[in-house]
Amino acid sequence: MPQKTVVVSVPVDDVVNAVKFYSTLLGIEFARSLSQEQSFHAPISNDGLQLTVNQRHYPGEPVTFYIAVDDLAAAINTAQQQGGKVAVQPFDLPVHAQGRAVIRANFPGVNIDSLGRAAEIEDPSGNRIGLIQFTAWSRSEFQVDVPLSAPVLAKHNTAITHGKNFAP
């Protein structure tokens, strides 16, 4: 199964105003994230893709899309073998204490301290890509294991076939 994009992260300088902007633009209210940093999210597709708005960590931090991976270390290694480089070393995605309480209250039997681990890489052209290895519960919440539908794959395979006929 292809890897799935699960989060588009938008770093901002003023989280409150940015949430208002994106809420109005997209027509959906953003929810406070369960993470320890001030972050808000909203679904932007029916298959678990989330748009997050969070405090910028450093000047020039780019918008980054995150791909769910089964093995973070292996994905980083693959990226490096293909000419990519690590931009941000692997880090934990801890759940805020209040977030843990919300999870316990709404999901009986679920007790997690972390959503998983992540890292950021740059492709050979310098584009930023995030990689996330989710915990089992987080994989479910982000619908990581929902495969692409047969119609979507059929259309893509048609595009591949026609594209092979194009001159380089």
In tens, the pLDDT along 77-99 reads 999 999 999 999 999 999 888 88
DSSP for 66-130 reads EEE-S-HHHHHHHHHHTT-EEEEEEEEEEBPHHHHHHHHHHSTT---SEEEEEEEEE-TT--EEE
Nearest to 9 by CA among 135, 83, 118: 118
What is the bridge-based pairing of β-strands 50-55 and 4-12?
parallel
Residue 85 confidence (pLDDT): 97
Please tell me the class of the 4-163 domain: alpha beta
Q: What is the pLDDT of residues 20-68, one digit of tens each?
A: 999 998 888 899 887 778 889 998 887 778 999 999 998 999 999 999 9
- Ordered by start, the domain boundaries in the chain are 4-163
Nearest to 133 by CA among 142, 146, 124: 142
Q: How many CB atoms lie within 10 A of CB 150?
A: 8
139 token code pair: 């994989």
Q: What is the pLDDT of residues 132-164, one digit of tens each?
A: 999 988 888 888 887 777 887 787 778 778 777
Instruction: List all residues 6 or more positions away from 78 whose beta carbon is below 8 Å from its beta carbon.
Output: none
